[in-house]
Amino acid sequence: MKHILDRPIWSALETAHADLAEGNEKARRYPPSIVPFAASADDAPESLDALEELPAPEESMILVEAGPIAIPPSLAIVTEASVVQMVAERPHARISDPRIEPLTETDAADMLALATLTKPGPFTLRAQSLGSFWGIRSEGRLVAMAGQRMRQTGFTELSGFCTHPDFQGRGLGTLLFRFVAGEIASTGDTAYLHAYAANTSAISLYETQGFALRSEMNMRVVKRRS
């Protein structure tokens, strides 16, 4: 691994999120009730053997790496995609806005409903186990949110940003994006994110917000062969 973000799932589970890790020194994953991310330490046969032991039957895992993703023959590829990893070129200023409020466990169902509608990426009722989230409500309804997901030494992933279709085009998503980026920078960490390579409109937006391409990434969703 040349950079700590080349295997972001592994490095997160080895550092800041080690307390959440399931597995051993060869392969680890997050509890699937939090997020279905997993990784091997490297591509050595013993690491791939450990990776294949992680999922239960019919359980899928998501792997994300900078290079080609090696998997053991007992795991089948469900789907795969090209992803980009972008990093903040400079620390973002911390901002405030009276509409932005911290989200707590009591908001979990509303958060999942918004994520299910807008599909920002893997999201569960326990997403807040990974990091803090903030949102904006309109007449009591959660209409926009963003938060933190994976963390490594010196880095925090900005994730989960989404806006209800009825409220898009009002700048709420950009506001929350800037807010979370500022919160990450205030801790001394560098903010980063992932986006599908085909989502050029999102990538262009992130570039306007001071994020630059760090690496092209690969993503594979795998499960045990029947």
Q: pLDDT digits over 116-173, tens only? A: 999 988 999 999 999 999 999 999 999 999 999 999 999 999 999 999 999 999 999 9
Torsion 86-87-88-94 (CA) sign: positive
Percent of residues, the chain, with pLDDT higher than 70: 100
- H helices of the chain, in order, are 8-14, 45-52, 108-118, 172-186, 200-208
Is 9:157 a contact under the CB 8 Å cutoff? no
- Residue 1 pLDDT: 55
Q: How far is CA 147 from CA 22, 66, 110, 191, 206, in A?
A: 23, 23, 14, 11, 15
| Whether the Cβ atoms of residue 30 and residue 149 lie closer than 8 Å to each other | no
* pTM score of the predicted model: 0.94
For the stretch 43-60, pLDDT in tens is 999 999 999 999 999 899
